Amino acid sequence: MGDDGSFEVESRWKEQVFYWEGERGYLFDAGWGVSPPVLYVPPAEEWDASTPVWMHGRRDLILSRLEARSRHRIEEGPYPHSQGELTREV
């Protein structure tokens, strides 16, 4: 799964944007006090340390998907290591 195009971008509450590929997901921090709202992503040099293994080496693809579907402006920001990994219950 992943590079075949099956993904979902889900906004919940004002400061949460979820990126899903099947049952695997990642929570990105967002800010809503501006227009358009802001979606914060780990900088390129921190991407692999801040995201789960299934997202490693796929930053450009995932960011392009987020830009197309999230309705947020993408900005780099500091991220704790592996803070946002999720598993969706089916």
CB 26 within 8 A of CB 85: yes
How far is it, in rounded angstroms, from Cα 39 to Cα 89?
Answer: 24
What pLDDT is recorded for position 36? 86
83 closest CA partner among 56, 60, 49, 55:
49
Q: What pLDDT score was predicted for residue 7?
A: 95
Q: Mean pLDDT score of the chain, rounded to an integer?
A: 85
For the cut 50, the answer to whether the pLDDT of residue 74 exceeds it is yes
